Structure 1
Amino acid sequence: MRPTVFARIGRHTAKAVIIGLLAVPAVLSLRALRLPDDPNLTPLPPRPHSFGELVELPPKVTAWVGDHFGFRTNFIMADNIVRFKLFHEFPTVQVAYGQHGRYFMAAHARNAGPYQAMTAVCGKGKATDGTIPYLNKLFTAFHAAGLDPKLLVVASSPVVYPQDVPRGLVKECSGSDTAATRVLASPDLLPEARRSILYPLKEMREIAKNSTLFPKTWFHWAGDGLDQVARLSLTEFWQTPLDQPPLKVYKHIGDSDLGHMVIGIKLTSELIEPNFEASGIKPCFGPDCYPEIEGVGRVLGDISRFHNPNAPKRRLLILSDSFGQKASQWYSRYYGEVEHFCTSHAAKLTPQQVDAMKAYIYRNRADTDILLLYHDGGAMYDVLRLGTEPILPSAPAPKA
């Protein structure tokens, strides 16, 4: 008799514990009723005033509870960790686990198709219809203003490391017939534009065999291989002297630029970066680097500049997408001044800020080289256009 009583007590205690554990996050979710609405979460539906609204209420309440349930973030983190550790699986289409320990930015949006960001730069990619007309417009505008910019189209990691992409994409990413190569081969591209564009896919694949171009957990490029690409572009575009002493470097473990997409999962890689102090270079990063055009830096955000007193007394202006941040550091080996502006937010500049920025960046023309630096996904799919169109130089006024 006694064991039966204890067994009943044990069973009822277990039920009470389970109910209590479920009740805690449920009660905590009620705190959300007192918090201001979060635009990223499902709002609490209003009280129904008709039978039709009452019928529609349950799924709306369920969606609200799903977004506000107590310990929601902790549960999501636990699910992400289990799926990643056991199955190398991500709960988002935006990140993909490839082969040989490499990870990829697989899609630029949560509602994009599988591997959208990868197929766009591999064999099936097709540049937007406006890419070639804009490239023609860009170089025509610069040349009319008496400027001679060059465009470096950076091959991104799926085509540089095709052996590491998911198995179903290896063949597609291994070839050299990509959106960028087709644009460069198009008869619609003006010859003066084609002469000013470099897409070093073959060369970057060779560099990647012995140097780091993309850390294994990164979307952006970073590493000592960037110096080799810089040297390649300077030889191709300007025959710049390359006899400057190598930059001192340091290695460290850095967090992946993909890690923020999946909470609970920490991705890291070894990074090789310039040691500016040991190399005798003065760097500056962020909005305060350009007091000459106050306010512009606050809008653009991703800007930097470098002063190398031991390099030739020449200036390099880099206009870029987010791939310019790391690359600009390695160009500082070869120029006395490197000025870098990421143009991703250029459309947010006021007309007055645009005029001030253009007057500043296009100054000192005789001693300035201009490099446009965009990765293949940005150059072929309007990031280049949207970033540079607001700041295209104006043709000089006709002489009286």
Structure 2
Amino acid sequence: MKSSSPGTSSTGYKKSFYSRVIFIFAFFGLLILPALIHLSGKWQGSNTENRVLASAPVLPANMADMLKFPAAVDAYLNDHFGLRSQLVAWNNSLRYHLLGDINAVQLTAGKDGYIFFNSHAANTPLGMVHFLCGRNVTAQDRAGMVETASGFMQTALQTKADSYLLMVPTKPIVYAEKMPDWLQSQCQLYTPTLPGVIASLDQKRGLAGRVIYPLSEMLALKAKTEVYPKNTFHWTGMGPQALAQWLSEKYFKHPSLSTLSAQLHDRPSDIQQFLPGVTLNVPTREPDYARAGITACAGVDCFPEWKGVAASLGDVSRYRHEKKQGPRLLLISDSFGHGIAGFFAEYYGEVWHLSMNNINLLTETERASLKKIVFEDFAPDQVLYVFHDAAISYFERAPAQLLNAKK
């Protein structure tokens, strides 16, 4: 039987010792690395979360502040420790790609890769879906929506007689069968909000046919094309183009001036911000306006005659046929107008699109000036208000600021 020599034992001991030392240093190094990165302020990465992170606590000035101070410090460190942004992104990516899980309260994973944006506020997850399904929406709530929308439309018709309101059915309604079974089961317990409200508006004096809720048309489109991409909230591509064509031809009886062709390009999804670490690209059809003889412009430079106001609104666009004549359309919307505005250029000689999402940034004088420009100077033949379905309970607040503006 051989025995190890003193030299061999010494060498093995040294290797074991060095290994332990390296392990100890590596272990404690990993423990203190986030703190070092936090203190250095480097490699922190930007805030990729769709929320405001806790701010640095202020030193307490009295006993009441002293009692709150530990919780404030804890919240701050939880939100700002070193490598946190990277770890959040890695966690989201692993859960999404390995488990099909979505780590975002405002998003819901549906069937066949569909993702549903479920609420505009993180503190009320599923709020928008539940509202559309009719959960916690009382008869009094529905009556209030009818009266408010009716009042708005009366003002709109007084401003421009040929005016319409388009309430766009969103993905939880159009692709309800793609929602998870548990959410479909919840929705089946209630009466959907929009159909009854729209039907009541249609019976109001002077409003018959003025409020458009094209649910049956969009459901029929599903058999022909993708109405909504799987991983967006807003629409893009064939869905809005097909609806613009239906509205213009079948509803408004306008002849076609041109047909827009398009090419596919990948664009980041509009819900990308809710899921840092996961790449969500959307194949988007970009219309070839130049080929159709249409001058297209999006952004502040489109309206040099009211550039300052356009800069405040942000989401504005303009489309004009270079040689063909046709009616003028004024499209006033929330964020859902952006995806459809350009497609109306197939039927209108000129289209102006204004989103009202930032109208609160304008002064009363600026709103009055804008009202004169778009209704009197531009003098549209037709006005179309475009809002998504869940906005039925509040859509009138923003455009009403424009319609009611006074010098």
| TM-score tier (shorter) | 0.7 to 0.9
Q: How does 1:9-48 map to 2 (within 5 A)?
A: 9-31=18-40, 40-47=52-59
For 1:286, give the aligned amino acid.
G
Q: How does 1:1-400 map to 2 (within 5 A)?
A: 1-2=9-10, 3-31=12-40, 40-47=52-59, 57-113=69-125, 115-124=126-135, 126=137, 130-145=144-159, 147-170=161-184, 178-186=192-200, 190-235=204-249, 237-242=251-256, 244-309=257-322, 311-363=324-376, 368-378=381-391, 380-382=392-394, 384-392=395-403
Deviation of 1:8 (Å): 3.4
Does structure 2 retain, via aligned residues, the 8 Å contact 1:347–1:386? no
- Counting matched residue pairs gives 388
Quote the Cα distance in structure 2 between the aligned partners of 1:264 and 1:366.
47
Q: 1:44-83 CA distances to partner (integer Å, 9 max, x unpaired)?
A: 3344577876665443322222222112211111111112
**Highest CA radius of gyration, 1 or 2?**
2
Q: In 2, distance between residues paired with 1:48 and 1:187?
A: 56
Q: CA deviation at 1:259?
A: 0.5
The equivalent of 1:398 in structure 2 is: none
Structure 1: any 5+ residue segments left out of the alignment?
A: 396-400
Letter in 1 for 2:129: M
Instruction: Identify the range of structure 1 (304-313 vs 196-205) with the bigger mean alpha-carbon deviation.
Output: 304-313
Does the CA contact (< 8 Å) of 2:201 and 2:211 recur in 1?
no
Deviation larger for 268-277 or 100-109 = 268-277
d(CA) in 2 for partners of 1:290 and 1:271? 26
Conserved? CA contact 2:142–2:197, under 8 Å? no
Q: Is the partner of 1:252 in helix, strand or coil?
A: strand
Could you tell me how far 1:172 is from its partner in structure 2?
5.9
SS at match of 1:96: strand
SS of the equivalent of 1:269 reads strand
- SS of alignment partner, residue 10 of structure 1: helix
The code of the aligned residue for 1:135 comes to: A
Distance 1:265 1:19 in 2: 31
Q: CA 1:52–1:339 in structure 2 vs 1: closer, same or farther (change >3 Å)?
A: closer
- Structure-2 change in CA distance of 1:176 and 1:27 (3 Å): closer
Cα pair distance change 1:146/1:315, threshold 3 Å:
closer
Match for 1:344: what amino acid? N
Work out the CA distance in 2 between the residues paired with 1:4 and 1:325.
71
> What is the rounded CA distance, in whole Å, between the counterparts of 1:134 and 1:173 in structure 2?
25
Mean alpha-carbon deviation: is it higher for 364-373 or for 319-328? 364-373
SS in 1 for 2:224: coil
CA distance in 2, matches of 1:75, 1:381: 39
The residue matched to 1:83 in structure 2 has which SS? Answer: helix
CA distance in 1, matches of 2:266, 2:167: 28
CA contact 2:142–2:193 (8 Å) conserved in 1:
no
What residue identity is the alignment partner of 1:233?
L
Return the alpha-carbon distance in structure 2 between the equivalents of residues 174 and 93 of structure 1.
22
Amino acid at match of 2:20: R
What amino acid sits opposite 1:30 in the alignment? L
- TM-score normalised to the size of structure 1? 0.88
Provide TM-score, normalisation by structure 2.
Answer: 0.86
CA contact (8 A) 1:295 1:353 kept: no
Task: Report the Cα distance in structure 1 between the residues aligned to 2:65 and 2:188, rounded to whole angstroms.
Answer: 55
Q: Distance in 2 between matches of 1:128 and 1:76?
A: 41
The RMSD of aligned alpha carbons is: 2.9
Q: Secondary structure at the match of 1:75?
A: helix
Q: Deviations over 1:336-390 (max 9, x none)?
A: 1000000111122111111111111112687611111111012x120x2121111
Aligned equivalents of 1:355, 1:250: Cα separation in 2:
40
Distance 1:296 1:365, change over 3 A: closer
Work out the CA distance in 1 between the residues paired with 2:325 and 2:173.
34
Q: Which amino acid is 1:389 matched to?
A: A
Are the counterparts in 2 of residues 311 and 334 from structure 1 also a CA contact under 8 Å?
no
Identify if the C-alpha distance between structure 1 residues 185 and 235 changes in structure 2 by more than 3 Å, giving closer, same or farther. same
